[in-house]
Amino acid sequence: MTPISRQSRDPLPYLVLPALMALALAAMKFSAWLTLTVAGLAVGCMLFLAAIGLTLIFGLMDVLNFAHGGFVTLGAFIAVAVLTALPIAGGGVAAALGVVALALAAAAAAGGGLGLVFERLLIRRVAGAPLRQILVTVGGGIILQQVMIVLFGAEPLALPRPEALRGGFIIAGAALERYRLMVCLLGLLVYAATHLALNRTRLGLLIRASVENREMVEALGFRAERLFRLVFAAGTALAALGGVVWALYAGMVTADLGADIIILIFIVVIIGGLGSVSGCFLAALLLGLANNYVGFLAPKLALGTDIALMLAVLLWRPRGLLPMDGA
């Protein structure tokens, strides 16, 4: 299996992002490029937040959670609930950030909590049986979606962004939205925190060891089962976090949100290399940028950008951009 731990040390995949940005810069004005780049990075960060949980769960548990989109939707509805309960019309940036932080925390708690129940009721019963995992997680995802329709209704719910996070400013002729900058910052923070947790803490060390040899970790006296539960809950909490960010970006939430973006999430995880956190981040940014650049330069090709990018990457690197050593 492929550890979350050690990345391939090949520097080439890291050059793809700057190469794409340089190519785009050569094809358009700087102001347009800057606007598209910031917007693309923001979309990439949102995709990363929605996808990282899926890759973490796969990397450690060897489980492809097809219900992942359901947890993204859950986070989006939690955002609606929190922002509706705490309207901050006219409040400052601090108040807006405070409410968003609260929504993120509530979504993470709900996503993590439900993830624990999901793992206990469904995932644990199909450990080591990939086909049954697919069936059970697809089924679980449908149940999650239906439960959310029952709880929140089938009609789209509006989620206006707090006023302080609307609008933006002009730099060098480029329009930079406040919310997109905030999303970029959040994406970077989550990436850095995950990277540090996995590579600089004893818990991360244990997770990396468990990915490589779960039996030995248990023979050393560690309870790998609990560790797996923790990672599953962390993965679903991150999905819910992604749902909040996505909902605030779209300004509207439906029970189909997760189902709508799950294909994109899978494309990100596959392009990045299954189980790879850095690969997931790189792939998400690449997808966000490529979509924006192509949409601007050749709008008719925009619809096929995601698939074309995945195809190109897989032809070049069949295991994704940053596959794990030993895969």
- Interface residue list for another protein (CB under 8 A): 3, 5-6, 202, 205-206, 208-209, 212-213, 215-225, 325-326
Which residue is it, tokens 């019309």? 89
Could you tell me the smallest distance in angstroms from the CB atom of residue 52 to another protein?
20
Q: How far is residue 322 CA from its own chain's centroid?
A: 16
What's the CA gap between 73 and 71, in Å, rounded? 5
Nearer to another protein, 175 or 206 (CB): 206
Nearer to another protein, 161 or 214 (CB): 214
Q: What is the CA radius of gyration of the chain?
A: 20
Determine the longest span between alpha carbons in the chain, in angstroms.
Answer: 61
Asked whether the beta carbons of 287 and 267 are under 8 A apart, the reply is: yes
Q: Given CA atoms 223, 227, 233, 236 in this order, what sign does their dihedral have? A: negative
Nearer to another protein, 138 or 220 (CB): 220
Could you tell me the smallest distance in angstroms from the CB atom of residue 206 to another protein?
7
Kindly state the tokens that stand for 138.
């697809």
What's the CA gap between 288 and 268, in Å, rounded? 10
Could you tell me the smallest distance in angstroms from the CB atom of residue 218 to another protein?
4
For residue 323, give the DSSP letter. Answer: P
Could you tell me the smallest distance in angstroms from the CB atom of residue 54 to another protein?
21
Could you tell me the smallest distance in angstroms from the CB atom of residue 222 to another protein?
5
Nearer to another protein, 180 or 214 (CB): 214
Could you tell me the smallest distance in angstroms from the CB atom of residue 119 to another protein?
18
Nearer to another protein, 68 or 208 (CB): 208
Could you tell me the smallest distance in angstroms from the CB atom of residue 227 to another protein?
10
Query: Based on the number of CB atoms within 10 Å of its own CB, is 159 exposed (0-12), middle (13-18) or buried (19 or more)?
Result: buried
Nearer to another protein, 298 or 325 (CB): 325
Partner residues linked to 174 by β-bridges: 171
Nearest alpha carbon to residue 241 among 148, 88, 112, 138: 112
Could you tell me the smallest distance in angstroms from the CB atom of residue 319 to another protein?
16
Nearer to another protein, 199 or 305 (CB): 199
Nearer to another protein, 155 or 215 (CB): 215
Helix (H, G, I), strand (E, B) or coil at 157: strand
Could you tell me the smallest distance in angstroms from the CB atom of residue 322 to another protein?
14
What's the CA gap between 311 and 92, in Å, rounded? 45
Which residue is it, tokens 């209704």? 153
Nearer to another protein, 31 or 199 (CB): 199
Kindly state the tokens that stand for 110.
């709900």
Query: Based on the number of CB atoms within 10 Å of its own CB, is 26 exposed (0-12), middle (13-18) or buried (19 or more)?
Result: exposed
Partner residues linked to 324 by β-bridges: 7
Angle of helix 30-61 versus helix 68-85 axis, rounded to 10: 120
